[in-house]
Chains A and B, each alone.
Chain A
Amino acid sequence: MENELTHEKRVLQGNEAIVEGALAAGCRFYAGYPITPASEIAELMSIKLPAIGGTFIQMEDEIASMGAIIGASLAGVKSLTATSGPGFSLMQENLGFACIAEVPCVLVNVMRGGPSTGLPTSPAQGDVMQARWGTHGDHPIIVLAASSVKDCFEITVQAFNLSEKYRIPVIVLSDEVVAHTRETIVLPKLEKIEVVERIRPSVPPEWYIPYEDNSRGVPAMANMGSGYRHHVTGLVHDPKGFPTQRPDEVDAFIRRQYRKITNGFYEIQMSKTLMMEDAEIAVIAYGSVSRSALHAIKSARSNGIKAGLLQLITLFPFHKKAVDAVLRQCRSVLVPEMNMGQLVREVKRVNLSSKVFKYNRVDGQFITPDEIYDQLLRM
């Protein structure tokens, strides 16, 4: 559907860019619950979605919001919800359901200081591990981190595409700084944006096996109500979608879910490197902190320090390959985070013998370029 607003130069805040990205990616259903600093996403969706024939619905809480987007996605409509810390916690059970039932959907978490009500609304990156492991049980999941308004747009599009392609919920982590910063952004023309749709069954309904394995490990997904029998359950299920406790089926089921993501590492794991060619020290950062890091390494370069940046866009599945390359090349690495050190552990795990420093702020304040530069001088 043509959206006349999406090919021009505009000044948007991160939250607004997420809305533009979602609409460009084909999102036509939004369910959410008000929470700062994510409310603007709902407010803008409440205006934009009905205007293009989509549905905006405000639910009674975040449990319901997540439930609604799962339902909408099963019925065949790309769907989004957005929240912040406390709401993200409430969404976890249904998020697990979306994982086990392999329901494509996108969840934006605009991080603020926590736990509980925490710091409404100061920036933080404390939900990184919750995004990976917040819901119980073994499950693969895709977590992306946006660092700018442009990122918000592009990563939201990517999130929908990956979600559709791999039948998996995708979490977009933003934070209060990214959400409320206004920047100029040139929105690409709709026809220039690659939009991926889930693979729907090509066999007649009577031949359809909803969770049948294939080479990609991603079963074809029929829209509910399209004539294909569709039994969706939160119980571990066999290829036909019915509950099973047979060890061989259970094992195959869990392993297929991991396999489908491992098969897609080449495109799921996204990162950017800057000035890494001859770098001797490096910063590994994500989200808004990577912007400070970029400034810091530029300052370092102008003072003769050979510093480089690895910005992780995909946090999970963790981009070991990119991190390993940096760890091998550099004598030491800094991981600045607005938490007590969550992703730094993943970095350290890649190569336990490498020198990895951490720099953390948990006071609700943004990490500035100067702070990172000071740390670089000590490395």
Chain B
Amino acid sequence: MQKTSANALIPTSHLLGSGTATCSGCGALADIRLFYEILGEKTIFVNAAGCMTLLTVYPFTPFRGSWIYTAMASAPAGAQGVRDALDLLLAKGRLGKEEDLQVVVLTGDGSAYGMGLSSTSGAMERGLDFIYICYDNEGYGNTGHQFSAATPHGASTATSRGMTGFPGYKKDLFSIWAAHNPTYLATVSGADPLDMVRKIKKAKDLRGPRMFIALAPCPTGWHFDASQTVKIGKLAVQTGIWPLKEYVNGKVEHTRIVTKKRPVDEYLKMQGRFSHLFEPRRNEKVLDEIQTRVNDYWKNVEEGE
């Protein structure tokens, strides 16, 4: 039986092995720990190349179950094969019902927002019964933090080092995935475990595509002290930059509405990747734009609800 804390929600067990090869303060690892705690040992992870590929370095793995690594663009396709084979074995009675596994795709934002999108779209279109966890550290962390389609406007990365940082805007993956009408879809943050646990538990009992986009503050790529991961994760929600929401039965609902939002400056200032917006002088234009976009987003939310 799983041990639970006083509020009876957040697991206090530690199913995921310790001592992984991730950087200290890795936000993605915090996300995955909670997922693994709730989904349990009877899971098979299908991974696309990324930071979390490094979780397993011979002869150690933090997982108690199996792990498949696929090409960067095809983790959901790999999951399709695994799920179909399991179903086949179940149907033939060669695998007992209690031996069935939850198929979990685990990729970073590089794969989820970019080159893996077509494969994910295909899996959702076919109604594949799987869970997709995208740990979103807003760049290609594993290759030296170049920008990805998930990189926020203005952030400095290895391939966007100019005075104004990344010129593009973070892709709205949530809406793209929602347009496929999956069984369940949510954004989560490891810094808000209550919200996260509730969503994972909800998804666990459903069937069909269940999609998660998990914010993963990255000390190495975002340039902040490893002790600040949780604080940054919280600020992302409190400033309104990372909306916590879910999509069920064709409707989007926000699960945390912060009434008194903090200014985005507080979140941005803590990260080296935005320091060029503050030093040597404040870049009012970019900062205003970021704040305005956040304000507009929440204005739309309020008007819609």
Min C-beta distance of A29 to chain B, whole Å = 15
A42 to B147, CA, bound (A): 11
Chain B 109-149 against A: per-residue CB contact (8 Å), 1 yes, 0 no?
01000110100000000000000000000001011101101
A61 to B117, CA, bound (A): 11
B114, B144, B159, B162: the one within 8 Å of A61 (CB): B114
Which residue on A lies nearest to B166, using beta carbons? A58
B161 touches A47 (CB 8 A): yes
**Does A123 belong to the interface (CB within 8 Å)?**
no
B144 touches A36 (CB 8 A): yes
A42, A43, A60: the one within 8 Å of B115 (CB): A60
A58 to B110, CA, bound (A): 12
A90: chain B residues at CB < 8 Å are 73
Which residues of B1-58 are within 8 A (CB) of A? Answer: 49, 53
Could you write out 11 A-B pairs with CB less than 8 Å apart?
A34-B143, A35-B143, A36-B142, A36-B143, A39-B158, A42-B146, A47-B161, A60-B117, A61-B73, A86-B72, A117-B69
Closest 8 CB pairs of A and B: A61-B115, A34-B143, A34-B146, A46-B159, A60-B114, A34-B140, A43-B158, A39-B143
Which residue on A lies nearest to B149, using beta carbons? A60
**Does B71 belong to the interface (CB within 8 Å)?**
yes
Main secondary structure of the interface of A (DSSP, over half): mixed
B72: chain A residues at CB < 8 Å are 61, 86
A34: chain B residues at CB < 8 Å are 110, 140, 143-144, 146, 158-159
Question: Contacts A43-B146, A50-B162, A86-B72 given; 8 further ones with Cβ under 8 A?
Answer: A34-B143, A34-B158, A34-B159, A39-B158, A56-B159, A58-B159, A61-B73, A61-B114
Which residues of A40-99 are within 8 A (CB) of B? Answer: 42-43, 46-47, 50, 56, 58, 60-61, 86, 90
B143: chain A residues at CB < 8 Å are 34-36, 39
**Does B295 belong to the interface (CB within 8 Å)?**
no
How extensive is the interface on chain A, given as a class?
Answer: 10 to 19
**Does A303 belong to the interface (CB within 8 Å)?**
no
A56: chain B residues at CB < 8 Å are 159
**Does B160 belong to the interface (CB within 8 Å)?**
yes
**Does A302 belong to the interface (CB within 8 Å)?**
no
Which residue on B lies nearest to A43, using beta carbons? B158
The verdict on A39 contacting B144 (CB below 8 Å), with A46-B161, A50-B162, A60-B114 known, is yes
B71 touches A42 (CB 8 A): no
The verdict on A117 contacting B144 (CB below 8 Å), with A34-B159, A47-B161, A58-B159 known, is no
